[in-house]
A and B are shown apart, each in its own frame.
Chain A
């Protein structure tokens, strides 16, 4: 252990222990991670756009700081969550009759 209070802390990014794969070809498991991560980034871009639109509702120009400092109210968060859930239902749907 390091006794210095100001030393840089690096956190591990992966977990100790086996990571399971479920498809016969592990590439499909890997592809699902790619797709899920990509879906996340699309949602993050959508939220950033939503922030810009909401700021422009009230002011003519906005700065990067305005965007970075914006935090949605619980009402706006609820609207975003509804949008996220609808988006998830469209993107990650399974082709099974009994599903719906």
Chain B
């Protein structure tokens, strides 16, 4: 496991706390890969024995798995471990307060800018439950300079991922930025916008890749943006952060040449999603590119993977997850005003977990989607979809 890249505002913990966090990361990987992998094997073999038809449907399979001791142990361990991730990072962050908030609010920002909107209403789909069981979710603030949820998200997500997205936890975004630059080498966006940036981990790779571009990033939550600005400044990156709702952007028509998001839509809602895509179409410049990394649509997954991926929808406080994965990205994009021929979808191999040959192979093809493409069991691939205006 790689160690997390340090910056001025990262809160890890004392000797024992850091070791506790690193153990919880391993525990989560053990549950996912070892116990989850064994469960897959057991059910695939059982399925073969019982019926000649290998796929029995996700609902039946879920019932069957969750009725078995194997499925019960796996599930209860998943939930406990999820809580343990956050529990392992909360005490040092709480202890670091109020110093952390004070230092963040007093920092001189010469590169990054932050535009907050205290009147913005946080939509119900973000407040109804704490997404990912992260206590306080993205938005909770306890003082007018509170950035705790940003600190919690920074360390907690790294522990949750067991460092698999690299020392800066930015693997998906680096994968996307690399793909765009190789696939469309003559594309030079002047202004870039990220939706749902949280603390800007996914924004930074676009700053690094598109050096001449002005990069803007929005999120609805002030605590993560405060932390994100401090983090960007500490890393020497120029990002313009805005507190905004992606359903109603305060930007002009055609203002951005490139709009992207990293695994955001499934945390919105059935009503918000089409509005956000329409806003993307509105603020995108003519010949601009919209590209989003998201969960694989369900019709691309096999039964077990569908069960495995959708588990979070039921038990990890992600209420829109299952509905989202049943939607057709093409239809959504076309309904937002994009042209039929401009839609694309691609499963990009993770930049850190694939060879240059493998990566370039995907870049050179127009599409690599197939019925069996999924990011479970076939190496890590990031599903992305989008369109040119």
Chain A hits for B71, CB < 8 A: 22
**Is the CB of B273 closer than 8 A to any CB of chain A?**
no
Chain A hits for B145, CB < 8 A: 5
B138 to chain A, nearest CB (A): 12
A interface footprint on B1-22 (CB within 8 Å = 1, 0 otherwise): 1110000000000111011101
**Is the CB of B133 closer than 8 A to any CB of chain A?**
yes
Question: Is the CB–CB distance between A1 and B79 below 8 Å?
Answer: no
Chain B hits for A84, CB < 8 A: 22-23, 26
Tally of contacts, chain A with chain B, CB under 8 A? 173
Question: Is the CB–CB distance between A7 and B143 below 8 Å?
Answer: yes
Q: Is the interface of B mostly helix, strand, loop or mixed?
A: helix
Complex: how many Å from CA A38 to CA B293? Answer: 38
A interface footprint on B116-131 (CB within 8 Å = 1, 0 otherwise): 0000000000001110
Question: Is the CB–CB distance between B143 and A96 below 8 Å?
Answer: no
Interface size, B (range):
35 or more
Chain A hits for B27, CB < 8 A: 36, 39-40, 88
Known: A7-B143, A48-B19. A85 touches B38 (CB 8 A): no
List the B residue with the shortest CB-CB distance to A24: B72
List the A residue with the shortest CB-CB distance to B317: A17
Known: A40-B24, A40-B27. A5 touches B98 (CB 8 A): yes
Known: A37-B84, A77-B22, A92-B30. A21 touches B93 (CB 8 A): no
Question: Is the CB–CB distance between B38 and A3 below 8 Å?
Answer: no
B interface footprint on A73-99 (CB within 8 Å = 1, 0 otherwise): 010011011001100110010101011
B255 to chain A, nearest CB (A): 32
Known: A81-B1, A88-B26, A88-B27. A21 touches B105 (CB 8 A): no
Q: Report 5 cross-chain contacts, Cβ distance below 8 Å, ordered by A residue.
A: A6-B102, A12-B140, A39-B27, A80-B19, A94-B38
Which of the residues A9, A13, A20, A74 comes within 8 Å of B315, measured between beta carbons? Answer: A20
Question: Is the CB–CB distance between B101 and A9 below 8 Å?
Answer: yes
Chain A hits for B315, CB < 8 A: 20
Chain A hits for B135, CB < 8 A: 11-16
Chain A hits for B98, CB < 8 A: 5-9
List the A residue with the shortest CB-CB distance to B38: A99
List the A residue with the shortest CB-CB distance to B72: A22
- 9 shortest interchain CB distances as A-B pairs: A17-B129, A9-B97, A99-B38, A47-B19, A15-B130, A15-B133, A88-B30, A12-B135, A84-B26
Which of the residues A15, A21, A32, A81 comes within 8 Å of B134, measured between beta carbons? Answer: A15
CB proximity to B under 8 Å, residues A15-33: 15-23, 28-29, 32-33
Question: Is the CB–CB distance between A99 and B42 below 8 Å?
Answer: yes
* Chain B interface (Cβ < 8 Å from any Cβ of A): 1-3, 14-16, 18-20, 22-24, 26-27, 29-31, 34-35, 38, 41-42, 45, 66, 70-73, 75-77, 79-81, 83-84, 86-88, 90, 93-94, 97-98, 101-102, 105, 128-130, 133-137, 140-146, 148, 152, 314-315, 317
Which of the residues A18, A47, A98 comes within 8 Å of B45, measured between beta carbons? Answer: A98
Chain B hits for A39, CB < 8 A: 27
Question: Is the CB–CB distance between B129 and A44 below 8 Å?
Answer: no
Known: A81-B22, A85-B26. A32 touches B143 (CB 8 A): no
**Is the CB of A2 closer than 8 A to any CB of chain B?**
yes
Chain B hits for A81, CB < 8 A: 1, 22, 26
Question: Is the CB–CB distance between A15 and B1 below 8 Å?
Answer: no
Complex: how many Å from CA A84 to CA B2? Answer: 15
Complex: how many Å from CA A87 to CA B321? Answer: 34
